[in-house]
């Protein structure tokens, strides 16, 4: 992290369940993220934000095992999982909801949940499905509907529910509100994400609706050009008048749905890729 931007806070954070140490990763031996470090504790929602092309999704793929790390280390509950494949990291306790291709469209809601719990025995699978329907009661009457016929909000609930079938302690959500209407996006972040954190899980969130992300998260990391430029409590980030300039100094739009931090414009705050 750049020393000139620094970090400010005495905020007490929980012990890290996920710890990322100096990770660099990319494609075809070309690094996209450089020497990134971050942590997420149980019961904590951590937001990673930045303009398009900042390297956020590349970082997520290095954490979940979709991409290998060129250097650095990924630890889960003190265990080094850097060399584990994605499926092995899932078994170790990482649940991942990607921005796209997050459900199996030709399968029903119930079948999607079964895919998420494919390692469970039959009775445990049925019990776990019922727990997901208790968490997302809107899905229960839709259990025989094909996933491709669901609304955007229903589909995102199903994607999160499918990831929860394996009972991960860390949930990684890549742009969970992408393509959703503002009211549905707000519900996903302020209702679903909050409930997951209150259940004792660690939440790592990539989100372009920055003001909503700051509202639901306790700690934030700002990335540009593949590096973490700033980390602070989200209460402090909301109050920074220079937040827009940290996003590569671009002229941005107002934070979508901003509250007291509305004075800071952030490029891409209303949506877009990572």
Each residue of 189-198: pLDDT tens digit? Answer: 999 999 999 9
Q: State which of 176-185, 217-226, 241-250 shows the largest mean pLDDT.
A: 217-226
User: Of 120-124, 133-137, 176-180, 245-249, which range is least confident?
Assistant: 245-249
Q: Tell me how far apart the alpha carbons of residues 259 and 87 are, in angstroms, rounded to a whole number.
A: 40
pLDDT tens-digit readout, 38-79: 999 999 999 999 988 899 999 999 999 999 999 999 999 999
Q: Is residue 274 part of a domain?
A: no
Q: Is residue 44 part of a domain?
A: yes
Q: Tell me how far apart the alpha carbons of residues 4 and 227 are, in angstroms, rounded to a whole number.
A: 14
**How high does pLDDT run on average in the chain?**
86
Q: Is residue 203 part of a domain?
A: yes
Q: Is residue 191 part of a domain?
A: yes
Q: Tell me how far apart the alpha carbons of residues 247 and 245 are, in angstroms, rounded to a whole number.
A: 5
pLDDT value of position 79: 97
Overall domain count for the chain: 1
Domain that holds residue 227: 16-266
CATH of the domain at 77: 3.40.50.300
For 216, list phi and psi in degrees, rounded to 5: -90, -15
pLDDT value of position 11: 65
Q: Tell me how far apart the alpha carbons of residues 18 and 170 are, in angstroms, rounded to a whole number.
A: 8
Q: Is residue 10 part of a domain?
A: no
Q: Is residue 21 part of a domain?
A: yes
Q: Tell me how far apart the alpha carbons of residues 22 and 82 are, in angstroms, rounded to a whole number.
A: 12
pLDDT tens-digit readout, 92-148: 999 999 988 899 999 999 999 999 998 888 899 999 999 999 999 999 999 999 999
Q: Is residue 43 part of a domain?
A: yes
Q: Which residues, in sequence order, are CB contacts of 126 under 8 Å at separation 6+?
A: none
Is residue 208 very low, low, confident or very high in pLDDT (cuts 50, 70, 90)? confident
Report helix angle 122-135 to 152-164, nearest 10: 140
Q: Is residue 5 part of a domain?
A: no
Q: Tell me how far apart the alpha carbons of residues 273 and 271 are, in angstroms, rounded to a whole number.
A: 7
């Amino acid at each position: 992290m750049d020393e000139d931007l620094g970090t400010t806070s005495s905020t007490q954070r929980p012990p890290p369940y996920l710890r990322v140490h100096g990770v660099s990763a990319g494609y075809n031996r070309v690094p996209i993220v450089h020497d990134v470090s971050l942590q997420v504790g149980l019961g904590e929602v951590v937001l990673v934000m930045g303009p398009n092309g900042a390297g956020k999704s590349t970082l997520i793929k290095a954490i979940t095992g979709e991409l290998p790390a060129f250097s650095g280390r990924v630890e889960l509950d003190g265990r080094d999982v850097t060399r584990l494949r994605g499926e092995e990291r899932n078994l170790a306790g990482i649940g991942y909801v990607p921005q796209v291709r997050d459900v199996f469209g030709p399968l029903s809601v119930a079948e999607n949940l079964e895919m998420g719990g494919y390692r469970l025995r039959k009775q445990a699978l049925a019990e776990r499905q019922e727990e997901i329907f208790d968490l997302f009661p809107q899905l229960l009457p839709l259990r025989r509907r094909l996933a491709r016929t669901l609304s955007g909000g229903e589909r995102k609930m199903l994607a999160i529910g499918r990831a929860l079938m394996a009972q991960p302690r860390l949930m990684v959500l890549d742009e969970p509100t992408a393509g959703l209407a503002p009211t549905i996006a707000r519900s996903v972040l302020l209702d679903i994400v909050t409930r997951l954190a209150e259940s004792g899980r660690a939440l790592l969130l990539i989100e372009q609706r920055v003001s909503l992300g700051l509202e639901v998260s306790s700690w934030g990391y700002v990335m540009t050009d593949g590096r973490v430029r700033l980390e602070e409590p989200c209460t402090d980030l909301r109050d920074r008048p220079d937040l827009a300039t940290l996003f590569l100094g671009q002229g941005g739009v107002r934070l979508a749905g901003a509250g007291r931090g509305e004075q800071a414009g952030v490029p891409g705050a209303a949506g877009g890729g990572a």
